[in-house]
Structure 1
Amino acid sequence: MFKLNLKIALRNLWRNIGITSINVGGLAVALAAFMLLMMYFTYETSFDKKNPNFDNIYIVGRTFPDFKTNYTPPPFGKAIKENFSEVVAVGKMKKGGFELAVSSHTSTVFTKQQLFVEYEAAKMFNIIPEGGLKKPNGNEFLYYLSKPYMQTLFPNKKDTKPEMVSIGSRSAEQFGEVRGSIVPDSHSNISFDAVSIVNEIGTGESYGHPNYFTYIQVKPGTDIASLELKINNLYHSELTKNGMVDEGEDVTETNAFLDPLKNQHLKPKAGSDANYKVLIALSVLGFLILVIACINFTNLSIAQAAKRAKEVGVKKVMGAYRFQLTIQFLIEILMQCLVATVLGLIIAEIVLPKFNSLFLVHLSIWNKENGLIWQLPVILLFITLIAGIYPAMVLSGFKPAAVLKGNFQTSRQSYWLRNSLLVVQFSIAVIFITGLLIINSQLKYMRTQDVGFNPEQVVYVKNLVYYTKPEVFAPVREKIMKIPGVKAVTVANAIPDGSGMGGNGYTVEGKQHSLSFLDVDYDYFETLNIKLKEGRAFSTSFQADAVNSAILNEAAVAKYGIQNPIGKTIRGCNIDYTIVGVINDLKAEGFEKAVEPTIYAINNPCGNPKTEIMVKVDEQRMAEVLAILKSQWSDINKRDGDNFRYHFLDELYGKLFAKQEQLQSVFFAAALLTIFIAILGLFAFAKYITNGRIKEIAVRKILGANDLQIFKLINTSFFVMVMIANLISWPLAYILTKKWLETFAYRIEIPILPFVLSALITIMLTIITVTIQANRAVRANPVDALKYE
């Protein structure tokens, strides 16, 4: 019986090869997209899951009235360990501030992610060097490089013995010992290419040095809410005990919190959850694409039901039960889904390199960790049931007497279901088209909007030297300015690339608020072409500028509500600054975050050292200037002279748009894919409808109807369905795009044009598709359709 049913299934599929190809092809393309997005979802949601302590690790953070941060003072971790028995381990980490050159006799690598890790933190995060994790002796630093870097420096190394390397410029003759290599987990939030393991970091530093990441590991089953409350109370008492708050001052303005390790990659409390929202959007997108393909499958299967009616009638007369027929048709559908899955895997493998390039990942279909091994059978079963259960029930439910008498007619319920599914299909397509157009509008706005500074033609030069005082940087500026084509040179403790700045409390006219601070040098505003709203920029003509002058941005002035700020005093870091200027706000952190109220000063004892050199270059002489800088760098910057390295500031700033550009690319692909699948289904459905109305068309032509009237007749029902789809999808598209736009502090108002364009696109495609399919029936000779009547 199985063999017979298999033959019938194969013959039936071959007889309707056109519909079968559309069914299988559309489903295969959708499955390929769904598999890629599911692999990406699995990858993004499984960071650090290899860590055996994954569920019990938390980072300690702090909440201020205006922001949250994961940076904590070094003594706090030790206090937590001493006071709470449910905390089994505490470890601190700190990121290095420099890109260091590490050299052997033959090669050089640049460590961009230097990490200082306590021994307890290394155990907690499974940071195990090759040869095993060793506990440092006393204040000893155990320095390790990543495996790829170690192989570059010592390609022929076979043993595990330490090696001597030069750190920084070779001319500085600073040497260190590399104890070995570590294979870094590329799927972890803790990333590094060089790591120093020590017993304790931050020794001797107080609660006034919150520059460390503090992680705790708790006992399984710990009440985290209760522990968080106790840690917060401890933090307040520690601040009071160590003199960090004045007597009677409200300590509750700063609170400690715990954030689980599983949140750190996608939705940290002290950070943006934009990545999480984008991931959810991509996951929903992938699911909707699969739903469209399943709708296509269901619609076409129901449309083909009439051709199987006599087969069902004969089988029922011969004694077949409805259950047996349902299983038979489900197996047929399973066969098609299985072929579609294999084709989907092939398509996914072909597209994967482009996908990896777009999302900057290294996914592989044949990697067991991506979850496809168990996901594919589930997906196959899911689509078989979703796409096949209703058609199978319809086919198996035909009444033998009716179909064998020749008066079989599909039910009105099937008619409404087919039309409803087509409406849903086009509704999803319209949402994608509208979403794509609105994303394009927001990205165009971001690219063309004035960001408050000009990063173009600005070269950011890597550097190891502290230029905290202007007189130290003055000789460097003078040498660089002598190069033909250089317009301006400055140094600061941060560059406007979205990396953020430090924060501190400042008081104006009795009002205290937390401000971001940026430590700059002369010509900072000129180099970046930052416009002054009022007052003046820092100048060597005013000696006080290097001591206690400050410039605020518009957001800071608005925060304090200062009227006529020039000449007024702002106090912070135990210095009374005189406000000498106000600048326009600059979107240094992109469009997703509101501009931080910021203070700019040359002298700031609370800030980080000024190391970031920026050079404004004439556009016509960029290559010449870079060549001269490279050749003269050993004289300009003796400490780092061997290794001249640079980036273009506009490229660094442009990376802030990367996630949204990814979303744009994915929505573009999704819009094309959904339109393609919908048009495939529409094409086959129109063919079915047209074939069913051949005699009606012939009669109308005999009675005098012209071709245009018949085309209008056939298109009318599809036009109505597409319009209904647009009316349904517009509110949904509006709500979804509004939610997405709300993730931006600076955004467009939702325009009407994308909704109008999506309607025009879908209507035009529908008319063209249906007209092409109906053309043969319209052009046919009426005699051929009616000669047997």
Structure 2
Amino acid sequence: MFKLNLKIALRNLWKNRTITAINVGGLAVALSAFILVMMYATYETSFDKENPNYDNIYVVGITYPEFKTYYTAAPFAKAIKQNFPEVESAGLVKEGSFELTIKNGKNTLFTNKILAADYNAAKILNINPNGGLIKPAGDVERLTYLSNESMKTLFPNKKDNKPEMVGFGASNSGITGIIAGSIKNNLHSNFTFDGVSIANELGKNDNYDMNDYTICVQVKPETQVVNLEQKITNLYQAELLKSKAGKRIDEVKGISTFLDPLSNLHLKPKAGNDAPYKTLIALSVLGVLILVIASINFTNLSIAQATKRAKEVGVKKVLGAYRFQLTTQFLVEIFMQCFAATILALILAELVLPNFNNLFQTHLSIWHINNGLYWQLPLILGVITLIAGIYPAMILSGFKPAVVLKGNFSTSKQSYWLRNGLLVFQFSVAVVFIIGLFIINSQLKYMSKEDLGFTANQVVYIKNISIFNDPIKFEPVREKILKIPGIKSATVATFIPGGINGINNYTANGIKANIDFVDVDFDYFETLEIKLKEGRLFSNEFKTDTINSAVINESAVAKYGIKNPIGQTIRGCNIDYKIIGVIKDFKTQGFETAIQPTIYTIKDPCGGYKTQIMLKIEESKMTEALANLKSQWSTINKLDGEDFRYQFLDELYGKLFKKQEQLQSIFFAAAILTIFIAILGLFAFAKYITNGRMKEIAVRKILGASDIQILKLLNTSFFAIVVIANLISWPLAYILTKKWLETFAYRIEMPILPFALSALITICLTVITVSIQAQKAVKSNPVDALKYE
């Protein structure tokens, strides 16, 4: 019996090979997209899961009235461990602030991220060097390990894991150190690195004014985290009141702490950007919708072909077949198609995977056992078979022999409404993605053309390890740089646009608030072409500029409510700064974050290191100037020596748009795939409808109907379906895109054109698809359809 059913299934699939190809092809395309989404979702939601204490690890954050941060004071880690028995361990982590050059003879390594961690943090975060984690001796010793990849760069022929002597900085710097061994850099972690420096204790001499570290805690199982969070807040407020920070009680009350689970850090950190989470949600919705649409196609076409299987079902029932047997037979046929689609989907996914990895900066592989496909695919195959096949199988197996064998069978009104309803759903989804794509494109176009308030073009950022906090130290470097033809200006600062600014507490006009700060040198504003609103900029002609002068932006003026800012005082870091100028706001953090109140100073004892060198270079002399800089860099900046590295500032700033560009690519793929699958289903459905109306078309032609009238007749019902789909999807698209636009501080107004274009595109595609299929019927000879009547 099974062999007979298999033959019938294969024969039926071959007989309807066009519909079968559409079903298998549509499912394969949808499944390939879904496979990629499943792999990406598995990857994104499993960061740090290799850590055996994954569920009990938290990062301690601080909530200020204006912002949240993971940067805290080093002494607080010890205080937490000493005061709360439910905390098993507490440790400190600190990321390196600049690129470090390491040399072994002619082999040079540029490390972008050296992670400093104390011994407790290394144990909490499962940082295990090759050969095991060793506790450094005393308070001074640090054990530095480089990643396996970095060690291969420095020591390509090294076979053991013994310590090695290396040089730091330029060849002539004379600075050496010991690399204790190698360590695997887990790229699937929130704490990635080129190397790790492990100490017995970090920040021993720091106080509560220095928020430079990240505190990681491991709590005991079954700990009430909410209660612990409140207790840590109370402790932190008490520590601030008795520390050298000298906080007042009313200030301390506005400060609290929070515990962020390790599982949150990658996708939706409490003190950070949740763009990765939104991207994952968008991708997941896309994958599910595309799979649902493909399943709808399958269901629609199976129901549409029901009449062709009616007599077969009637005969089998007369011969004694049970409904369960018939249902099983039809589900097996559907399973065969789904299985073939799955194989084809794996091939398509493998072909697309390199581009997918490049877009999302991942290293996914279909054949890696950790991606979960080995159990996800069989599950999805079974679910698709049931979703796409159970209703058609029940319809087919439920035919009444007495009716269908008389030839009076016709599909029910319920099936008719279901088919049309599913078509409406398909096109509704397609319309949402089309509208979303147009609006995302409009927002990105606005972001590329809108005035940023500064000029990143032709500005070159020089990577550097020299510290130029004193303007006198940078002046000879500036003079040498400006002698090179084509270089118009040079400056140095603690931060560059597109990066993270520092935050400190400043008081002006009787108001005390945390605002951003950037420590700069002369020509900072001129190099970036930042516009002055009133007053003046820093100048060598005024000696006080290097002592207590400050420039603030428009947002800072508004924050403090200063009416006439020039000449007024703003106090911070125990210095009374005199405001000499106000610059116009510029979008240093892109379009998603509102411009923050910011102060710019040359002298700032509480600031960071001025290492970020920026040069303004004439476009026509860019290549020549960079070549001269490279050849002369060892004499210009001796600490860097021969290691001249640079990046264009507009490329660095452009990374702020990376997630939005990814979202644009997602919606482009979604729009194309949903339209493609919907059109495939429409094509097959139109073929079925047209074939069923061949005699009606023949009679109409005999009675004088023109080709245009017949095409209009066949298009009318499909036209109505698309119009209804647009009307349903417009409100949904409006709500979704409006919420997305609201994530931007600076955005376009909701446009009307995308809604009209979506209707035009879907209507045109529908008319073209149906007309192509109907053309054969229109051009056929009426005699062929009526010769047996």
- Smaller-chain TM-score range? over 0.9
Trace 1:450-461 onto structure 2 (pairs within 5 A). Answer: 450-461=451-462
Distance 2:644 2:13 in 1: 66
Distance 1:151 1:752 in 2: 56
CA contact (8 A) 2:509 2:561 kept: no
CA displacement, residues 60-106 of structure 1 (integer Å, 9 cap, x when unaligned):
11000000000000000000000111100111011112211111123
- Alignment correspondent of 1:644: 644
CA contact (8 A) 2:27 2:295 kept: yes
Distance 2:246 2:288 in 1: 53
* C-alpha deviation, 1:509, in angstroms: 1.5
Trace 1:625-640 onto structure 2 (pairs within 5 A). Answer: 625-640=625-640
CA contact (8 A) 1:488 1:617 kept: yes
* C-alpha deviation, 1:247, in angstroms: 5.2
SS at structure 2 position matched to 1:181: strand
* C-alpha deviation, 1:248, in angstroms: 4.5
SS at structure 2 position matched to 1:62: strand
Distance 2:353 2:754 in 1: 30
SS at structure 2 position matched to 1:256: strand
- Alignment correspondent of 2:49: 49
Q: 1:162 aligned to 2:163? A: yes
Distance 1:28 1:160 in 2: 48
Distance 2:725 2:249 in 1: 64
Distance 1:186 1:508 in 2: 45
* C-alpha deviation, 1:162, in angstroms: 0.8
* C-alpha deviation, 1:8, in angstroms: 0.4
TM-score normalized by structure 1?
Answer: 0.99
Q: 1:213 aligned to 2:214? A: yes
SS at structure 1 position matched to 2:211: coil
CA displacement, residues 487-509 of structure 1 (integer Å, 9 cap, x when unaligned):
11000000012x21111111111
SS at structure 1 position matched to 2:543: coil
* C-alpha deviation, 1:430, in angstroms: 0.6
- Alignment correspondent of 2:587: 587
- Alignment correspondent of 1:428: 429
Q: Which amino acid aligns with 1:701?
A: K
Q: Which amino acid aligns with 1:709?
A: Q
Distance 2:386 2:495 in 1: 56
* C-alpha deviation, 1:760, in angstroms: 0.3
CA contact (8 A) 1:150 1:181 kept: yes
SS at structure 1 position matched to 2:491: strand
- Alignment correspondent of 1:381: 382
- Alignment correspondent of 2:505: 505
Q: 1:22 aligned to 2:22? A: yes
Trace 1:487-636 onto structure 2 (pairs within 5 A). Answer: 487-497=488-498, 499-636=499-636
Q: Which amino acid aligns with 2:377?
A: L
Distance 1:503 1:99 in 2: 22
CA displacement, residues 640-696 of structure 1 (integer Å, 9 cap, x when unaligned):
112011111000001111111111112111111111111111010000000011111
CA contact (8 A) 1:171 1:642 kept: no
Distance 1:590 1:720 in 2: 44
Q: Which amino acid aligns with 1:313?
A: G
- Alignment correspondent of 1:87: 87
- Alignment correspondent of 1:265: 266
* C-alpha deviation, 1:250, in angstroms: 3.6
* C-alpha deviation, 1:574, in angstroms: 0.9
Distance 1:512 1:236 in 2: 18
- Alignment correspondent of 1:324: 325
Trace 1:689-700 onto structure 2 (pairs within 5 A). Answer: 689-700=689-700
- Alignment correspondent of 1:244: 245
* C-alpha deviation, 1:246, in angstroms: 4.4
Distance 2:303 2:593 in 1: 50
- Alignment correspondent of 1:472: 473
Q: Which amino acid aligns with 1:695?
A: K
- Alignment correspondent of 2:654: 654
In structure 1, runs of 5+ residues without a counterpart are: none
* C-alpha deviation, 1:323, in angstroms: 1.3
SS at structure 1 position matched to 2:639: helix
CA contact (8 A) 1:322 1:396 kept: yes
Distance 1:176 1:123 in 2: 24
* C-alpha deviation, 1:244, in angstroms: 2.2
SS at structure 2 position matched to 1:206: coil
- Alignment correspondent of 1:355: 356
- Alignment correspondent of 1:126: 126
- Alignment correspondent of 1:291: 292
Q: Which amino acid aligns with 2:186?
A: D
Distance 2:346 2:755 in 1: 35
Aligned residues: 788
Question: What percent identity do the matched residue pairs reach?
Answer: 68
Larger deviation: 76-85 or 664-673?
664-673
In structure 2, runs of 5+ residues without a counterpart are: none
Distance 2:288 2:748 in 1: 28
- Alignment correspondent of 1:683: 683
Distance 1:468 1:147 in 2: 35
Q: Which amino acid aligns with 1:272?
A: N
Distance 1:389 1:634 in 2: 74
Q: Which amino acid aligns with 1:560?
A: Y
Q: Which amino acid aligns with 1:132?
A: G
CA contact (8 A) 2:339 2:381 kept: yes
TM-score normalized by structure 2?
Answer: 0.99
Q: Which amino acid aligns with 1:107?
A: N
- Alignment correspondent of 1:191: 192
Q: Which amino acid aligns with 1:587?
A: K
- Alignment correspondent of 1:771: 771
Distance 1:729 1:231 in 2: 48
Q: Which amino acid aligns with 2:176?
A: F
Change (3 A) 1:159 1:300: same
Trace 1:132-143 onto structure 2 (pairs within 5 A). Answer: 132-138=132-138, 139-143=140-144
Change (3 A) 1:247 1:656: closer
Distance 2:636 2:248 in 1: 50
* C-alpha deviation, 1:249, in angstroms: 3.8
Distance 1:45 1:584 in 2: 41
Distance 2:7 2:249 in 1: 88
SS at structure 2 position matched to 1:558: helix
Q: Which amino acid aligns with 1:159?
A: D
* C-alpha deviation, 1:264, in angstroms: 0.4
CA contact (8 A) 1:518 1:599 kept: yes
CA displacement, residues 735-758 of structure 1 (integer Å, 9 cap, x when unaligned):
111111111111111101001001
Q: Which amino acid aligns with 2:145?
A: Y
CA contact (8 A) 1:686 1:774 kept: yes
SS at structure 2 position matched to 1:691: helix
CA displacement, residues 327-384 of structure 1 (integer Å, 9 cap, x when unaligned):
1111110110000001000100011111111111100001111111111011111111
Distance 2:304 2:513 in 1: 68
SS at structure 2 position matched to 1:186: coil
CA displacement, residues 224-273 of structure 1 (integer Å, 9 cap, x when unaligned):
00000011100011111114234554411111111111000011111111
Q: 1:443 aligned to 2:444? A: yes
Distance 2:262 2:272 in 1: 13
- Alignment correspondent of 2:711: 711
Distance 1:502 1:703 in 2: 83
Q: Which amino acid aligns with 1:468?
A: N
Distance 2:204 2:244 in 1: 18
Q: Which amino acid aligns with 2:414?
A: Q
Distance 2:640 2:384 in 1: 61
Q: 1:665 aligned to 2:665? A: yes
Distance 1:278 1:130 in 2: 35
Distance 1:559 1:38 in 2: 46
CA contact (8 A) 2:208 2:244 kept: no
Distance 1:26 1:600 in 2: 58
CA contact (8 A) 1:695 1:786 kept: yes
CA contact (8 A) 2:491 2:527 kept: yes
CA contact (8 A) 1:570 1:577 kept: yes
Distance 1:385 1:133 in 2: 51
CA contact (8 A) 1:274 1:743 kept: no
SS at structure 2 position matched to 1:475: helix
Distance 2:29 2:334 in 1: 17
CA RMSD, 1 decimal: 0.9
